[in-house]
Amino acid sequence: MGGLGPPLVALVFPGQGSQYVGMGKDLADAFPIARQTFEEADEVLGTSLSDVMWQGPDDELTRTHNAQPAILVHSIAVHRVLADRLPAIKFGAGHSLGEFSAYVAAGAMSFGDAVRTVRRRGELMFNAGQERTGTMAAILGMEDADLERVCLEASGKGGEVVPANYNAPGQLVISGDVPSVQNAMALAKANGAKKAVQLNVSGAFHSPLMMPAEAGLRVQLDNVAMEAPKFPIVSNVTAQPVSDVVEARRLLIEQLTSPVRWTACVRTMIEHGVAELIELGPGTVLTGLMKRIDKSARARAVGKAEEVNGWQS
């Protein structure tokens, strides 16, 4: 008798903020393919990113142009170690930067091109933040629609603030000009938010303030060869699966100024039958968010050597 078959699986990849000093060192020590991955990234960049990842200091690793490639390299190192042990993959997805990791894992973009591209993306985002000072804030305990109204009310008089990350129900991030974000934080608390915390970031990511970065990222991606992914990648912008290369490029650029619709991305995958999400890379942020989004699907994180050694598909 035939069974229902194994559960459908999605690979998910973390975004900026998951980096930590020492990330990936245990993988490099334990697995030659992981060490080769870090060495390849150092060669591509012409500098020792691995030294920054493994030795810090923390403020150097946290810089946008270092954090973005560091997280991608760690994620792909784990993916390469596990590649022949992973089950068949239905979808891939990544949180902001993590979407580039997903395209590499799906064979749509080469590792070297992705490392160069996210390094450039980090530089462009930082420069946009210098051009027009902005910030972000985490808002806890508000409904999406209520926070959207707060952002509209707090915008104006030459400033704007928008939702930037729909991370999970009741766990949102806003982004925009500093006065507008601070105004929105006060309004959010006045309208029932449990907490509003300004984040230590170098710009208003995933907001219109990132528009100056679009042209540079477009030029960068125009010089990158892309192929159709082996499995669809669920876009942060639309929360829909993408397999077309032209659409993928366009959405990776739009992602700079659009909110990360992570809750909707996860729900799309579950609606298409995914029963398990495997988070590859540093930290457990996306696995933790699953507890708020949908407890019906299993989620597990693999980012350290001991987790790889304990892997069972």
Collapsing DSSP states into helix, strand and coil, what is residue 236? coil
**Rounded Cα gap, residues 248 and 243, in angstroms:** 7
Residue 31: which residues within 8 A CB-CB, separation 6 or more?
77, 81, 305, 308
Compute the Cα dihedral for 27, 32, 33, 35 and give only its sign. positive
Residue of 151, 186, 182 lying closest to 166 (CA atoms): 151
Taking the CA atoms of residue 222, residue 224, residue 228 and residue 231 in that order, the dihedral angle to the nearest 10 degrees is -120
Closest CA to 198 of 146, 151, 134, 261: 134
Identify which of 291, 251, 280 has the alpha carbon closest to the alpha carbon of residue 11. 280
Q: Running DSSP on this structure, what letter comes out for residue 270?
A: H
206 noted as active-site residue: yes
Active-site option among 65, 79, 95, 206: 206
Distance CA 68, CA 53 (A): 11
What is the spatial distance between Cα 63 and Cα 306, in angstroms, rounded to a whole number? Answer: 28
Told to judge if 296 belongs to the known catalytic residues of this protein, a careful annotator would answer no
The tally of CA atoms less than 13 A away on the side-chain side of residue 107 is 6
Annotated catalytic residue, options 18, 96, 180, 202? 96
List the catalytic residues: 96, 206
